[in-house]
Amino acid sequence: VTGRSPVAHRPRRADGQRNYDAILTAATAEFTAHGSQASLGEIASQAGVAIGTLYRHFPTRATLIEAATRDGLTSLLDYADKVSAAGDPVDALTAWMSRAVDYFSTFRGLAQTLTESRNGDNALSETACAELTRCGVRMLEAAQATGRIRADLTAEELFDLLGAAAWVRETSQPGHDGSVRLLAVMIAGIRS
């Protein structure tokens, strides 16, 4: 690997830690309200720090997005274990896909960041990206082993489906969520 992605700066002083937390809280609120393109100046302002402090802790927008979605990713990975232990691998896969679309839709623009990361465009850290990929591969292969899911479906294609469904949700008008029906069509389409 030539140039790995920048990572959020871990503070070593108490005031640094306080600012780090305040920025993360403000970022979560702003991303939720205005999507991944929320103004960094506004985030710094809401956190009560100068813009340089934000850049010190989070050198790129992607590091901030990753930190703001870390808990959601952990939760998704835990869910995969839980639903895998429960029983049928195909049911587990479809339940996990629905949950993954929720995660991809944490805020507007996240699906694009995640998909671009998988395709190597700067964006998120390799570790976060690899955790998610390994989880998806595991779910898919277990389901394919039953013979009821198309054997020629790749993990890359599975993640394309998830990103596409999340995109539909975030582009839909607020009232109606088009991703539910879309996911149903997809799940029907990946059966053998």
Partner DNA sequence: ACCTGAACACCGTTCAAGT
Residues making contact with a copy of itself (CB under 8 A): 112, 115-116, 119-121, 153, 156-157, 160-161, 163-165, 167-168, 171-173, 178, 181-182, 184-190
Contact between residue 5 and residue 64 where contact means Cβ atoms under 8 Å apart:
no
Nearer to DNA, 16 or 178 (CB): 16
Contact between residue 155 and residue 163 where contact means Cβ atoms under 8 Å apart:
no
Contact between residue 103 and residue 163 where contact means Cβ atoms under 8 Å apart:
no
Contacts to DNA from residues 32-51, by CB under 7 A: 37-42, 49-51
Contacts to DNA from residues 57-116, by CB under 7 A: 57, 59-61
Say how far apart CA 29 and CA 43 lie, in whole Å. Answer: 9
Contact between residue 157 and residue 97 where contact means Cβ atoms under 8 Å apart:
no
Residue 3 touches DNA, criterion: CB under 7 A: no
Q: Which of 1, 3, 15, 174 binds DNA (CB under 7 A)?
A: 15
Residue 138 touches DNA, criterion: CB under 7 A: no
CB of 167 to a copy of itself, least distance (A): 5
Burial call 175-192: b when 16+ CB within 10 Å, e when fewer? eebebeebbeebbeebee
Binding site for DNA (CB under 7 A): 9, 11-13, 15-16, 18-19, 37-42, 49-53, 55-57, 59-61
